[in-house]
Structure 1
């Protein structure tokens, strides 16, 4: 599942990092307070005085704040990258005789349009990722509230996916299907 949900992987890593930092800080405070760690005097004031700190402290503080801000922007940008990357497939068997390329979108747009016509389906979005020898179809289907997702999945398995595999000349096409439920409202079909 590498590359399918990059924001989730980044979120888990950041949460683990912040969790470890908070655990270390909490352990340091507890150890100092109970006297097991004698780096700081438990009864000493937190700030030694009210004077202006040295200039280097201000620079370090500004640099740290800038770094944290840039990391926060990177995290926000990663939240937007939700789709797996699709590629252009090369279909030639003999490169000396020519080259045939197929944009993955060319194959998935008609398929998504077909899935959008199934009973109870509002929209469908398909992304074909990987190579011709290691493909993966990522399908996001938005269904109406109360729709029978089992029937939609059965129709995918018996009609849509076999037809797509045949069109792509693949023996097997692994697929991940995500069902989303639409709010009650006017029926629209977009793909």
Structure 2
């Protein structure tokens, strides 16, 4: 996922969690009569609600439905993926079109890189839009592997093969991790 979206999600969820925590604590405190023996709402509020019940409760329901829809929209945005699963390689109205399921090429490039000396494992995925995909390669190298040599081999062989197969100068994000270590990113 997008780091900016991740940060925004964390901030919104932290604020929402704080508001709900305070509201829950206030509800428990009111239920235990820590605010006194008075009603939960002041008399003015209950009088107002009783006098305007014909529109007040429908407005509360409408607000609840709106919040539920916003929550549903947020959840569907979280589940959305920017992965590209199909690419249209050629399109000619007279002859038809050629579609490529990207899983085939991604498995091939991942397996090719995994066979390089010093590589423990490799995965590949396409992100973005089908018209302008981006190849993301995650390569885990063995401790002590020559990272520069592995990178040169990935760039000169695997990435070149993908670009030749797709007939495009696709943008690539290359992420290296030393087995048991932290990721290091390089953009090609």
Shift of 1:110: 0.8
Q: Deviations over 1:53-84 (max 9, x none)?
A: 14999xx9xx8xxx8xx79x95xx94xx6974
CA distance in 1: counterparts of 2:80 and 2:140, whole angstroms: 16
Q: Of Structure 1 and Structure 2, which has the larger fraction of its residues in helix?
A: 2
Q: Could you report, residue by residue, the CA deviation over 1:88-121 in whole angstroms, capped at 9, with x for unpaired residues?
A: 1112231221121101111111111000011111
Question: RMSD across aligned C-alpha pairs, in angstroms?
Answer: 3.9
TM-score (norm 2): 0.59
The structure richer in strand per residue is: 2
Residue 180 in structure 1 maps to residue 167 in structure 2: no
Q: Which residue of 1 aligns with 2:88?
A: 90
* 1:49 aligned partner: 36
In structure 2, how many angstroms separate the alpha carbons of the residues matched to 1:113 and 1:157?
15
Gaps of 5+ in 1: 22-46, 185-191
Q: Structure with the greater relative contact order (CA < 8 A, sep ≥ 6): 1 or 2? A: 1
How far 1:133 sits from its partner (Å)? 4.0
Decide whether aligned partners of structure 1 residues 83 and 153 sit closer, same or farther in structure 2, where only a CA change above 3 A counts: farther
Per the normalisation by structure 1, the TM-score is: 0.58
Task: Count residues with an aligned counterpart.
Answer: 142
Q: Partners of 1:14 and 1:131 in 2: how far apart?
A: 23
Q: Say whether the 8 Å CA contact 1:89–1:103 is kept in structure 2.
A: yes
Work out which of the residue numbers 4, 13, 27 in structure 2 matches 1:9.
Answer: 4
